[in-house]
Each structure stands twice: as structure tokens, then as C-alpha cells.
Amino acid sequence: MSEEKIEGITKIAVKGFKSIAEKCEIDIRPLTILAGANSSGKSSIMQPLLMLKQTLEAPYDPGPLLIEGPNVQFTFAKQFLSTAGEKQASCFQIRIETCDIFASNSVTTTFRKGQQSVEIAGMIMESETWDGSAQRLTLYPDMPSEEIELQVDQHRKLDGSEVVRRSGCFLDFGYQDDEITLNITEDIEYHIFHTIHLPGLRGNPERSYKLTSTGPWYPGTFENYAVSLVHEWQETEKERLKVVANALHTLGLTRQVGTEKINDARIELRVGRLLHDNSSETDMINIADVGFGISQVLPVLVAVIAAEPGQLVYLEQPELHLHPRAQVALAQVLADAAKRGVRVVAETHSSLLLLGVQTLVAEGDLSPELVKLHWFTRRKDGITEVDSVDLDEAGTYGDWPVDFDDVSLNVQSRFLDAVDNVRFGDKETS
């Protein structure tokens, strides 16, 4: 099976959302890097997907789009409808493309500000099988059945009751044996439901943690599930727990991790006090008694280890609170997940993490076909643009609009010039 046919979300396109006034599209590879300056639009390309996720996961019907939830928090539509460019957008659009061994499917949904809340303005569903057959269906609210008939090849006419209606955050027309609508939207919903989201704000380490579900579905944000997964692996999947411990050791943080059940509601997370290989349980201490690095990166490690092939894992600043050496080593952990077929999307400010990925490619440990780099910038008018590049076999990527390393080199050069001026400036004037 070729890489293009691995199941999962393969493309996301957004338009009219925050600084993304014009359509921006990103390919989702097993290892996808989102980079750029602060407020350049990195989070904005993913937030529409997260709003769909929290809408579908809500325990009640929040309407077409839940704008304030566990993954994304807005209170007014004007906070995310694009104001970049000449005027504020009246709607925004998100297109999600998935692929499996049979076909590629996509759903493009347009949302607009309604009288009471955000509403669906229209939707386009497309499907193309690997044998070349293609289907396309356009829907909008209150669309008459006659217009649907023109698009759907059926042996009987639709009756008057089968008009377009809302189904969650998508549209459908209630024709229950119609494979065109249901199969496409169900496929997209499945992958949105199974998306793992780990935000940059992951909270302080706690003395004890609530027991939670251990997947494979993780509603809300993933940091709530990490400790319970470690607890389950300690009891039933020790090999996975060993992978976590080895990853922590690779990052230079600790060699041991485990849990202790306090009662039927809470568990304690414990880690090795020292980096050396010591199996003594007396060398284990509460996670709250060590540095922030372990508590911040542990959910990252657990997320990519828990994820199944094809599952999308969106990590915001996975390098948070890590020493530079650990940032480089983190590239190996993400690469290992990518090689298993997990779709890791890492939003990062770390040039060292990127350099670690490049090094793995150059060393032959990671295929360049598994990696995609997206660089986000904003034009003078405030509109986001995305430059996307591939790595070559040497791990290089050509010219980006701004290179992480340029910043580092410029700072070093400025410092050395200042040092020379302090040491030799007075001599030249004397």
C-alpha cells in the first residue's frame, strides 16, 4: 500500500477564518510541521477542525457549530470571522479531505453568522475511488428535492419529505440508503472524532489525577487522559509503558514512570528521581516534585504512543519546557510515530526540533516522503500565507521565507560583535 492510501485526514483547507482571509491549504503527512512567527496563523489553520470536533463530541445538540468548548473558546462569531484585508468576512469555510484503501473523500462546509448563532450556509461532498469513478454533491439548507435529483443518479425520484436538513455540523437529505451522502460524512466524522488534541497550555503537575477513559476516543483535550493511560499500560500493556519510559530516557529526563492507585477515583503519577537505570521503587517520587519538563512532555509521548495508524494527533508546542538537547531528541519520538502511520501535526517554535527531524532524514532513519513543512507568514495587509515544502534525501528544504537558523545566527553574530567591541574597542581608541 502506498503512503497516499494510508487511512486518515490528508488535507485541510481554510478560508475566511481569523487572519486566513484567503484560502490556505496544508497537506497532512505522517509528520507535519507548522512553523512561523507568533500570530502568523498556525493555530488558525487547525481551529476550525477543533470546533467541528467539540461540536460532534458535545453531550447535547449545540447547533451547527459549538464555538466555545474544551478545544477552542470563542464567544462571538466576529472573533473568528476574518477581518484581514478590506472588510470582515461574513462566513468561513473548511475543507477536510480523507483517504483510505478504497477512495479519497472530502467535505467542504461553509458557516455563516445567523440571527441566533452560527449556521451552515452550504456543503460540498466529493468522493473519488482509486478506479477513477468520482461523485460530487452540493447541498444547502431548504434545498428542494428536484435540485438533489439532478445531482444524484437514482432509480426513483425523491419524495417531498426528503429535503436537506442539518445532521450535527453537516448537512444531509435523509435518503437513508444513499451511499453518497452518508458514507462521505460518516468517514469525515469518524476521523474528526478520533483526532487527538494536546494544547500548549497543559496545566501544572498535580499530586493526584482523576481516572478517565483510556480511548480509543479522547473527547476534549488529551492531557486529561495521559495519566490514566500510563496506569492502564502498567497493569495490562507493560511493553507500551516501557516505550514511554525509554522515550523519557531518550529525552534525558528519567528512566522510570509508573502510577499508584489512591482510590477508585484518583491515581498518583510517579517518576524516577534519577536518570540512571534503577528498578528500586524507593527511587520513585511524585510528578509534582520534579521539574516541569516531565509533566509537560509526558502527554506528548503518551499521545503519539497511544495513537493508531491514520489517527491525527495535533500537538501545540510539544517542546514546551524542554532543554535544547531534549528538543532535538523529541524529533525521534515524533518520527517513530510517523513511521507507524500516525499523522502527527506539530505546531512548533523550535528550530532544534526541526533540525532533529532533518538530521533523521539525512541519516536515513526517516523517509522524506513522510514529512511536510508549512511556514506561516502574514503580509502587510495582515493576511496569512502558507509556504509548503518537502525535505530532500539530505534533509534540506530549500528557501523558506524566514529561516529559524537565520535568527540564531544573527543573534550570535550580534553578540560576538558586541564582545569584540568591549574587548578591543577601548584599545583602538587609546
Give, for all 430 residues of the chain, the pLDDT tens digit.
344 456 899 999 999 999 999 999 999 999 999 999 899 999 999 999 999 999 999 999 999 999 999 999 999 999 999 987 777 899 999 999 999 888 899 999 999 998 888 999 999 999 888 888 888 889 998 887 778 777 765 544 555 555 788 888 999 875 544 444 446 788 899 999 999 999 999 989 999 999 999 988 999 999 999 999 999 999 999 999 999 999 999 999 998 999 999 999 999 999 998 876 555 556 899 999 998 999 999 999 999 999 999 999 999 999 999 999 999 999 999 999 999 999 999 999 999 999 999 999 999 999 999 999 999 999 999 999 999 999 999 998 876 555 566 666 677 778 778 888 888 875 555 5
Closest by Cα among 355, 315, 344, 357 to 43: 315
Residue 389 maps to a domain? no
The whole-angstrom separation of Cα 252 and Cα 327 is 10
Domain extent, residue 418, equals 400-430
Can you say whether residue 78 is alpha, beta or left, with left for phi > 0 and alpha for psi between -120 and 50 degrees? alpha
Residue 309 maps to a domain? yes
Q: What is the pLDDT of residue 174?
A: 59
Residue 418 maps to a domain? yes
Which three cell numbers, joined as nine digits, stand for 16?
A: 475566511
Pick the last residue of a domain from 169, 193, 217. Answer: 193
Output the CA angle 242-210-317, nearest 5 degrees. 60
Residue 388 maps to a domain? no
| Phi and psi angles of residue 238, each rounded to the nearest 5 degrees, phi first | -65, -25
Pick the last residue of a domain from 134, 163, 193. Answer: 193
Same domain, 35 and 164: yes
Q: How many domains does the chain have?
A: 3
Residue 383 maps to a domain? no
Residue 279 maps to a domain? yes
- What angle in degrees, to the nearest 10, is found between the helix axes of 351-362 and 324-339? 50
Residue 379 maps to a domain? no
Torsion of the alpha carbons at 112, 115, 116 and 120, rounded to the nearest 10: -30
Same domain, 183 and 331: no
Burial of 79 per CB tally in 10 Å (0-12, 13-18, 19+)? exposed
Same domain, 23 and 140: yes
Residue 232 maps to a domain? yes
The residues with which 33 forms a beta bridge, in sequence order, are 346, 373
Same domain, 139 and 214: no
Same domain, 208 and 282: yes
322 neighbors 298 (Cβ within 8 angstroms): no
Q: What is the CATH number of the domain that holds 294?
A: 3.40.50.300
Pick the last residue of a domain from 139, 168, 193. Answer: 193
Count of residues making up the chain = 430
The whole-angstrom separation of Cα 378 and Cα 50 is 22
Q: What is the pLDDT of residue 1?
A: 35
